[in-house]
Every structure is written in C-alpha cells, then in structure tokens.
Amino acid sequence: MQLVVTAIILWFVAVRLIDEWRKFRGTPIEVHPRWGLIVLSCVVVLTTYAVLVETWRRIVVGWGERLGFIDAARIWSVSALVRYLPWNQVFQVGAFAELARRQRISPAIAAGAALINTAVNIATGFVVALVAGWAAVDTLSNGHAVLGVTLTVILFCGLLALPMLLPRALDAVRRMTGRSVDIGTLPHRALYQAVVGNLIAWVLYGIAFQLFVGGILGAARGSTADYIAVWAVAYVLGYLAFAMPAGLGARELALVDALSVVGLATVGQAAVVAVTARLWVTVLEIVPALIFLARGTRRRPATSNLRDGSNS
C-alpha cells in the first residue's frame, strides 16, 4: 500500500514537473546558471529542513514521547510527499499519525505536533514577511501596513498562549464528542522552541532563495531581507491554497508578483525564477523521502529473516 501511494504521489509530481519544465523551456529569456550558487542554495535548504524536523521533534518530545532525530527526519520527509496531492493538509496529518504509530509514538501527539508546528510556521511567516518587507508592504498598502502588523501580532500572541488554551480546547472536544483525548500537557518551552525554530527556518529559506536567484539569473540584486520577505509571502500563500498540490500555481504567481513589485527582477526574469524554484524545491523535498523509503525497504527482509530464525 505504501508503494502504491508513493507511486501515485510521484505520478502527480512528474506531471507537474513536466508542465513546469515546458513553461521554462518556452521562456524567451536567456539564462546562464551559476551552479556553485545553486548547489550552495540546496545545502542551505536541506539545513532548513533539518531545523524544521528538530522543531517538530522537540514538540513531540515536550509532550512526553521519545523520538530520535533520524526517525523524526524519516517521518517528516516521507509525510512531505503527501504535499503533492490535492487537499494535502488533511492527508499529511494522517501520514504523520500513521508513520509515528509505526515508531510507537502516539498518533495523536504526532498529528497534534504537526498541526501546531504548521500554525506556528504560518504565523511566523507572516511576521517575518511584514518585518523584512516592511517598506514594500507599506507602499503597496498605501500606508496601511500597520493594520496587517496589528492582526499578525494578535495571532502571534494567540500562539504563545496556546499551551494554556489547548487543555480547554481538548475539554471542549471531550464534551462535544464524549471521547477523551489524553495527550498530556504541552510545556510552554516546547512551543517557544517551535517559534524560534520557525523564525530561523524562514531566515534560512530567504538566504537560500537569494543564492538560488543569483545562481539562475547570474546576480541577485536587492537585500537578503527582501528575499526573506518575498519567499515567506509566496510560501505561505501557496500553503493556504488548500486544494492545490503543494500550492502549485498560487506560489508561482505570488513569486512573480512579489519579485517584480519589490524590484528584484523583471516580470520575465521573475517567471523564470518561479518555475525553476518549483523544480528546485520539489527535488529537494522528494529525494530525502525516497532515500528514507529505500532504506526502510532494504531493512525489512533482514528483520523478517531474523524473526524467522528466532522462531525456528
């Protein structure tokens, strides 16, 4: 069943990648890649993934479970494949729960940690985008950026209060459904670590994106803060496009608009960056997951043979 689901996801990804590659090939702009910068951007992205994995792992550990980094990376990476299915947020939570259950981790805690980390990621993404791109946001909103900042700060404060609000929410679920959800109390420290981890991840994403743009276009004009803001806005908007596989289309449109409005690229250059960035991120998300799946497939025969031998 795991192989069938993986094959379906890879089919979705292949179709999307072929379509994006055709768009890229049809773009009239001449591109001279600087592969050194592109490789360095890949290293920074993989480092970002490591930060996000550790952030999610710390929430799970804070809830009283025991989970090593490698096992957490496997769960996180394989679950990321589900992003390429429509309505991926629903399926991804289920993937976290099932893969965690195989590691003898509470499915409720794993799924809850994934939901909390996602909420923190979106909230911190808005904060980072507004802070890093304050000048551009203020210009585009005709001086009304303060309203957006106010709403974001309120959301951020709500997240910080989540350890106190979560028990009440679970109690409300118990009263409505008649079933108790016993996942313990989430320590404040775990949530604050999630906030810090996601803030670091957004900064690393922006640095990686700046390196990637420099590798694709030959040079990356503008400041690192501009690239952090552009990537955060595009990524969050793509994530909020629930029905689209991995935010396909929404993220690219946001990237093209943001890069051209901020003045980091022309519309044509922004289109090239948007298409190639989709290829870039997709490959970096899929390859680690496939490596973990391949390692898991190779281990199973040896494990089953050992059990057969012990039984005999």
Question: Cα(280)–Cα(201) distance, rounded to whole angstroms?
Answer: 17
pLDDT for res 7: 59
The rounded mean pLDDT for the chain is: 77
Are residues 204 and 47 in contact, defined by beta-carbon separation less than 8 angstroms? yes
Closest CA to 210 of 202, 201, 199, 222: 222
Q: Which residue has the higher pLDDT, 113 or 51?
A: 51
Q: In this structure, is the dihedral angle defined by the CA atoms of residues 21, 26, 27 and 33, taken in order, positive or negative?
A: positive
* Residue 264 contacts residue 227 (beta carbons within 8 Å): yes
The whole-number pLDDT of residue 312 equals: 38
Q: How confident is the model at residue 36 (pLDDT cuts 50, 70, 90)?
A: very high
Assigned token pair, 184: 């313990």
User: What is the C-alpha to C-alpha distance for residues 203 and 191, in angstroms, rounded to an integer?
Assistant: 19
Higher pLDDT, 174 or 276: 276
Residues present in the chain in total: 312
| pLDDT, tens only, 292-309 | 888 765 554 443 343 444
The stretches of the chain forming alpha helices (DSSP H) are 2-25, 35-62, 69-80, 88-102, 107-132, 134-140, 145-160, 162-177, 188-217, 224-240, 250-262, 267-311
Which range has the top average pLDDT, 79-88, 129-138, 207-216, 268-277?
207-216
195-221 burial string, b = 16+ CB within 10 Å, else e?
bebbbbbbbbbbbbbbbbbbbbbeebe
Q: What is the pLDDT of residues 138-173, one digit of tens each?
A: 655 555 666 666 766 776 777 677 667 766 766 666
